[in-house]
Structure 1
Amino acid sequence: MSSYPFAAFGATTTCPDCLCRDRVRHYPSDLTDAQWKVLEPRARQVMDQLRRATGRPMVHDLRAMLDAISYLTRQGVEWRALPIDFPPWEAVYAFFQRWNERGLPHLLVDRLRARLRTGVGREVQPTAGIVDSQSVKAADTVGAATRGFDNGKKTNGRKRHIAVDTEGFLLAVVVTAANIGDRLGAKLLIITLLNTCTQLKLLWADAGYDGRAFTPVSRRRTTSAGNWP
């Protein structure tokens, strides 16, 4: 059921039947003005690319769209449960799909990470990283084909395989069923890493990983550390 009451459709805004351009930002997940100042030029550049590809301009407020996705991600709610001061959930979902299908969120993360790294005196491309995984219980609506049982964590759901640089900035994320082991997950993670982190030479991990997961790439680019041979 939609979270939009009938009163919302009678609101007078610059975007017909929507409160998005008049919303007051008060959720913890909302972008601050300082964050939006950094993100806005890149986000609008992406929108220009989408308009050239599809030809239809978006009628909703761009910042409200990004705040809506941030709210959904932070709060873990259903699409249909977005509050009424965001654009309709159907529009937010379609917006997310258009960006995600073109890999645009990853490009934004890469560009922001590069800016943050240079801001702390680092090179744009990291040479070292840290990998880990986390099993998360899945909702009842998650299908059996994309979920599994992690015997070690006693969790039925999905597993996030994450790599960060030595500053803690995100490098890559791979999501699998929770029954996928760390070794296989690490292989998938490294494939993703090598597409964007061309200077990566060193990775750290805990005892849950062993060298076999990294043998195929260690001969080419990645050396090992910690418990890896």
Structure 2
Amino acid sequence: MSQICVAALFPSNPRASACDCLAHRFGNAADRPDRVQRYPSDMTDAQWAVARDALPVPAWLEGRGGQPEGYCHRQMLDAIFYVTDNAIKWRAMPCDFPAWDRVYAFFRRWRKNGMAREFHDRLRGRLRTAEGRQVEPTAGIIDSQSVKGAASVPAASRGYDGGKKINGRRRHVITDSLGLLLMVLVTAGNVTDRQAAHMMLPPLHARFRKSTLIWADNGYTGHLVTWAKEKLRLTLQIVKRSDDMAGFVVLPRWWCVERTLGWLMRSRRLVRDFETLPASSETFIYFSLAMLMSRRLARPACRPPSEQPQWAAAA
């Protein structure tokens, strides 16, 4: 999709609400514009300024069909962040948010069109730039995490992980060296690390052409290393534990992806897999990490000098 900044497309509408999202700027919002920010998952003004500039451009704004938004993007994102952070049912949406079916329709549309991933990837690029890195990484780390599946997870997309003794699903993730997510694939629990890597590494190589090194653990050894080198020109470097290591030991590079998996468990919606579709699980992962990255970017130290408050510039 286009990389146009939504906030700079049109001047503010003087008749609109104080909110500067597209729905309020064009006067199409059907919600309450003056909702009070009251939940820990709600975005601050600084966090919303970061998220607003990373929002995908709507299709109707580029002449690709569709209708203008009817609900405030900020309230919609706050509502989805609330669901992600607190693991409530969609029908249990607090009454100060838009109606639950409208929020779910927004979530479903972003899942179907890949807009959640685009939103996440834009924030990741900005955070990498703020950390002094190039937007496109040159190395990654791959790992997986098994979680129990709720009763809503159908038998067709769940399985038993014999190593972890968990009946549910497995999240396969690839992160950069900062622990920021590059790719995620949710599968049944019985899909092995090697099988998932065969599915993930080709699209990873297509999207990040500069990435030539992937760190992995012993679960990715064997023919996969040779296959990645010959077919994709990717070096799959196995991070091994020494024989004299006992108990938990922090491994070089490996702790970054383990920390990312720990970040996911802070969101209650991700402590267990509740989703009927694996794609919904992946979308909640994108929203969970987008919430984390927008908070980090909203810190004064991560903002460009022109966006920092006067007290920060004088410090």
Higher relative contact order (CA 8 A, sep 6+): 2
For 1:95-106, what aligned pairs fall within 5 Å after superposition? 95-106=106-117
1:121 paired to 2:121: no
1:183-221 CA deviation, whole Å, 9 max, x = no partner?
Answer: 111222223322321211111122222143344332233
1:180 equivalent in structure 2 = 191
Which structure 2 segments of 5+ residues have no match? Answer: 1-27, 241-315
1:225 equivalent in structure 2 = 237
In 2, Cα distance between equivalents of 1:54 and 1:142 = 34
Which residue identity is paired with 1:88? A
1:91-145 CA deviation, whole Å, 9 max, x = no partner?
Answer: 1111122222221121222222111112211111111111110011111011111
1:110 paired to 2:126: no
Query: CA offset at residue 74 of structure 1?
Result: 2.1
Q: Structure 1 residues 193 and 50 mapped into 2: Cα distance closer, same or farther (>3 Å)?
A: farther
Cα RMSD of the aligned pairs, angstroms, is: 2.1
1:53-98 CA deviation, whole Å, 9 max, x = no partner?
Answer: 4432222111010111112122222221222121112111111222
1:59 paired to 2:75: no
The answer as to whether partners of 1:138 and 1:158 remain within 8 angstroms in 2 is yes
Q: Structure 1 residues 162 and 122 mapped into 2: Cα distance closer, same or farther (>3 Å)?
A: same
For 1:1-229, what aligned pairs fall within 5 Å after superposition? 16=30, 18-19=31-32, 21-43=33-55, 45-47=56-58, 49-50=59-60, 52-219=63-230, 220-226=232-238
The answer as to whether partners of 1:159 and 1:176 remain within 8 angstroms in 2 is yes
Q: How many residues align?
A: 211
| Sequence identity percentage | 47
Which residue identity is paired with 1:94? A
Which structure 1 segments of 5+ residues have no match? Answer: 1-13
In 1, Cα distance between equivalents of 2:135 and 2:158 = 35
After TM superposition, the runs of 4+ consecutive aligned structure 1 residues lying more than 6 A away are none
| Secondary structure of 1:23's aligned partner | coil
The answer as to whether partners of 2:160 and 2:166 remain within 8 angstroms in 1 is yes
Which residue identity is paired with 2:37? R
Q: Structure 1 residues 145 and 115 mapped into 2: Cα distance closer, same or farther (>3 Å)?
A: same
Q: Structure 1 residues 85 and 208 mapped into 2: Cα distance closer, same or farther (>3 Å)?
A: same
Q: Structure 1 residues 207 and 36 mapped into 2: Cα distance closer, same or farther (>3 Å)?
A: same
| Secondary structure of 1:168's aligned partner | coil
1:137-170 CA deviation, whole Å, 9 max, x = no partner?
Answer: 1110111111111111111111100111001111
